[in-house]
Amino acid sequence: MTEPRTVRPSMADLARRAARLTVSAGIRTTAAPLRALARVGREESDPRWARATWLWQPGWGRGTHDRLYRRPDPYGIGLNPYEQQKYGTVMDALAGRRFSRTLEVGCGEGDLSVRLAGHTDALLGVDICTAAVERAATRVPSGTFVRRTLPREMPDGTFDLIVCTDVLYYWEPVTLRVGISALLDRLRPGGTLLAYHYRGDFGQAGTADRVHDGLRAAAVARGHDVRVHEHRNGVGPGGAGARFDVIVAPVPAAGEQIRGVPAPRRPEIDSPARSRHF
């Protein structure tokens, strides 16, 4: 989110972008065969891979985010206009509604959590980075914040609100498919999943289009209601735009079977930043 916001980039901007995309393409090209090798005889959920998240999230795994968050506000969220309109869009969609248990995926330092906290009885923010969740916990004392790498370390239980803003495009295609399914599994009947992603390419493993196309297809296949499905043109760095979807899980008719929530694939590997039971 730190790219210049001019519509016509300078030669220096273009050169920097080309260099960044070349490095990122190199990392992705290296990660793909290594990931294939790593799968031989090993499960992605094996705790021995906990530090190797770059394999499944090329260029933007746990190590990268730990380095980024050595300083506060690494994404320059602050008063950034793109971020503020994103939070405005999300909060407008939630206006007047209250939830009992909310999951915020990739909560960062809690810029959106601060706003979500007023709409929910219990807020669980998860982020790949320890420093980020510690800062979020300080800003939002009513919430619970834990370090997790999703989708491998999906929290237990179900939620009536799941919020994913500018996070799912870090997942490469297989992780994205598994992750979308795991998130939809955790949506309670009648629950809302809200996703908002910047459409620009800044070296992440995936794109907003892949995220939102995949999300919508998976939701429709489950009979979920896609209430909002929007392209927001012109917003964000370089005017690249954003995608916004609001998905609502159906409430089964009386006597109809509710889809089961799978058990977590493995025990937790990290202790929570705040130990309060969520």
Ligand X SMILES: C[S@@+](CC[C@H](N)C(=O)[O-])C[C@H]1O[C@@H](n2cnc3c(N)ncnc32)[C@H](O)[C@@H]1O
Interface with ligand X by CB under 6 A: which residues? Answer: 1, 57, 65, 75, 77, 106-108, 111-112, 126-129, 132, 148-150, 165-167, 170
The β-bridge partners of 193 are 162, 247
- Nearer to ligand X among residue 57 and residue 102 (C-beta): 57
d(CA 126, CA 132): 9
Nearest approach, Cβ of residue 192 and ligand X (Å): 16
- Nearer to ligand X among residue 112 and residue 124 (C-beta): 112
CB-based closest residue to ligand X: 106
List CB contacts of 228: < 8 A, sequence separation 6 or more.
93, 244, 245, 246
List CB contacts of 276: < 8 A, sequence separation 6 or more.
144
Nearest approach, Cβ of residue 11 and ligand X (Å): 27
DSSP-derived letter for residue 272 is -
Pair of tokens at residue 153: 């370390």
Nearest approach, Cβ of residue 111 and ligand X (Å): 5
Nearest approach, Cβ of residue 112 and ligand X (Å): 5
- Nearer to ligand X among residue 116 and residue 187 (C-beta): 116
d(CA 130, CA 116): 20
Nearest approach, Cβ of residue 179 and ligand X (Å): 8
- Nearer to ligand X among residue 52 and residue 150 (C-beta): 150
What sign has the CA pseudo-torsion 210, 2, 167, 38? positive
- Nearer to ligand X among residue 111 and residue 245 (C-beta): 111
Nearest approach, Cβ of residue 149 and ligand X (Å): 5
- Nearer to ligand X among residue 185 and residue 259 (C-beta): 185
d(CA 122, CA 155): 14
Helix (H) or strand (E) holding 244: strand 242-248
